[in-house]
């Protein structure tokens, strides 16, 4: 089936440097899709190719089945919100928002109507006569959003849109973006390096590394079932131990790990080849620590209190470290630095990972 936006074998290189390496992706109508990765992974280049600012070296971009690869930026039904917001400093907020509509040659009354509409939606009505220099960071961000949305694009592209905002405002704005996207039923594609942001806003996330997409899935899919060590480590924190040998018994795997210094249990999966190097990953919040019993033995090396939770760093007997988290439910910690502990978790909490 043809996707709303389909990216087919897209590649972009600058001389000998490959920024985007043969990416294929399908994005559906009404999705809030994230391109997530560290800086230099090619996510911005991919977004800029969708916007029409960069010409792909090879491959195609299709929108509703029509090939738009060679359509210049000013003729594409996409609009972009820039990282720097790129508000026109010499124009008022109202004229900034009107700019795109004037290019389309809309009637003055229609322009007026649409500006009022979007200004009301984004609480900009009182600011229409101000210049960008007179606005706060949050206000500028809303103007940039209004300027792109007023064109009623088929796809809204957001390039690290919240990077300049402080933490509290950023969280607030993320929720606001999601609300707006649902309300308008538009397709959003956002580029971000902040995994928390991607998890918060997206319907699906594409995790990128060195010009390639490693995994695509809903936030819970990519968090719960990462398919590679890189994805597991990039999304949230995790403990990863190299597996040495694996024995299958029914639907369960017994894994010996020299790194962890003991036997680990995991649910069987045919996704990961066990004759190649493989790893077992477990999220810190799934690890249970007890003062007696079975599991990996170690001592508490560090205890951090963040308010929401307690973070234990355990030095295992094998010499490796293991992180565990406990949600703060009001009680004092029964474990202190230097205590001997046994770490265990259910087989379902283990994830088998390939490289």
Interface segment toward another protein; rule CB under 8 A; list 69-77, 213-221, 287-295, 311-319: 69-77
**82 contributes a contact to another protein by CB under 8 A:** yes
- Kindly state the smallest distance separating residue 352's Cβ from another protein, in Å: 43
Among 3, 43, 49, 8, CA closest to 26: 3
List binders of another protein among 119-148 (CB under 8 A).
Answer: 132-133, 147-148
**257 contributes a contact to another protein by CB under 8 A:** no
How far is 205 from 216, CA to CA, in rounded Å? 6
**80 contributes a contact to another protein by CB under 8 A:** yes
Give the H or E element holding residue 5.
Answer: strand 5-14
- Kindly state the smallest distance separating residue 201's Cβ from another protein, in Å: 21
**230 contributes a contact to another protein by CB under 8 A:** no
- Kindly state the smallest distance separating residue 75's Cβ from another protein, in Å: 8
**103 contributes a contact to another protein by CB under 8 A:** yes
* Residue 273 buriedness (CB in 10 A; 0-12 / 13-18 / 19+): exposed
Per CB under 8 A, the list member of 11, 13, 28, 53 interacting with another protein is: 53
Among 153, 189, 173, 152, CA closest to 48: 189
- Kindly state the smallest distance separating residue 131's Cβ from another protein, in Å: 8
Residue 354 is given by DSSP the state: B
DSSP, residue by residue, 223-284: HHS-SBHHHHHHSS--EEEE--EEEEETTEEEEEETTTTEEEEEE--SSS-SSS--EEEE-G
Size of the site for another protein (CB under 8 A): 27
**305 contributes a contact to another protein by CB under 8 A:** no
**51 contributes a contact to another protein by CB under 8 A:** yes
How far is 309 from 284, CA to CA, in rounded Å? 11
For another protein, the closer of residues 99 and 342 by Cβ is: 99
Among 263, 260, 259, 277, CA closest to 352: 277
How far is 10 from 253, CA to CA, in rounded Å? 39
Among 66, 76, 78, 52, CA closest to 2: 66
For another protein, the closer of residues 79 and 350 by Cβ is: 79
**167 contributes a contact to another protein by CB under 8 A:** no
**89 contributes a contact to another protein by CB under 8 A:** yes
| Cβ neighbours of 172 (radius 10 Å) | 13
- Kindly state the smallest distance separating residue 52's Cβ from another protein, in Å: 8
Inter-residue contact 161 to 138 (CB < 8 Å): no
- Kindly state the smallest distance separating residue 192's Cβ from another protein, in Å: 17
For another protein, the closer of residues 151 and 193 by Cβ is: 151
**90 contributes a contact to another protein by CB under 8 A:** yes
- Kindly state the smallest distance separating residue 130's Cβ from another protein, in Å: 12
**86 contributes a contact to another protein by CB under 8 A:** yes
For another protein, the closer of residues 139 and 210 by Cβ is: 139
How far is 85 from 88, CA to CA, in rounded Å? 9
Per CB under 8 A, the list member of 38, 55, 72, 245 interacting with another protein is: 72
* Residue 105 buriedness (CB in 10 A; 0-12 / 13-18 / 19+): exposed
Q: Which residues bind another protein (CB under 8 A)?
A: 51-53, 72-75, 78-80, 82-84, 86-90, 99-100, 103-104, 132-133, 147-148, 151
């Amino acid at each position: 089936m043809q996707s709303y936006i389909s990216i087919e074998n897209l590649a972009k290189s600058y001389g000998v440097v490959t920024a985007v390496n043969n990416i294929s992706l399908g994005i559906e109508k009404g999705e809030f899709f994230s391109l997530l990765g560290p800086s230099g992974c090619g996510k911005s280049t991919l977004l800029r190719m969708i916007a029409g600012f960069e010409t792909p070296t090879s491959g195609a971009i299709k929108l509703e089945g029509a090939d738009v690869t060679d359509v210049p930026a000013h003729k594409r039904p996409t609009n972009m919100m820039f990282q720097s917001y790129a508000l026109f400093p010499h124009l008022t907020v109202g004229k900034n928002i009107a700019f795109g509509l004037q290019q389309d040659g809309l009637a003055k009354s229609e322009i007026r109507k649409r500006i009022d509409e979007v200004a009301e939606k984004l609480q900009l009505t009182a600011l229409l006569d101000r210049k960008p220099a007179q606005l706060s960071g949050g206000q500028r961000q809303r103007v940039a959003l209004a300027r792109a949305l007023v064109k009623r694009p088929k796809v809204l592209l957001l390039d690290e849109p919240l990077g300049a905002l402080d933490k509290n405002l950023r969280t607030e704005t993320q929720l606001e973006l999601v609300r707006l996207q649902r309300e308008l039923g538009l397709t959003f594609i956002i580029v971000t390096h902040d995994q928390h942001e991607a998890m918060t806003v997206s319907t699906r996330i594409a995790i990128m590394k060195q010009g390639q997409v490693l995994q695509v899935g809903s936030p819970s899919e990519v968090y719960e079932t990462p398919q590679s060590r890189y994805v597991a480590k990039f999304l949230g924190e995790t403990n990863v131990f190299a597996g040495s040998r694996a024995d299958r018994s029914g639907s369960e795997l017994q894994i010996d790990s020299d790194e962890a210094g003991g036997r680990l249990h995991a649910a069987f999966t045919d996704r990961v080849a066990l004759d190649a190097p493989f790893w077992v990953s477990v999220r810190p919040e799934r690890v249970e620590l007890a003062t007696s019993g079975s599991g990996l033995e170690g001592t508490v090396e560090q205890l951090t209190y963040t308010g929401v939770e307690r973070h234990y760093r355990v030095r295992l007997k094998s010499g490796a470290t293991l992180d565990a988290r406990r949600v703060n439910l009001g009680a004092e910690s029964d474990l202190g630095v230097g205590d001997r502990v046994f770490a265990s978790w259910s087989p379902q909490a283990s994830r088998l990972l390939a490289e």
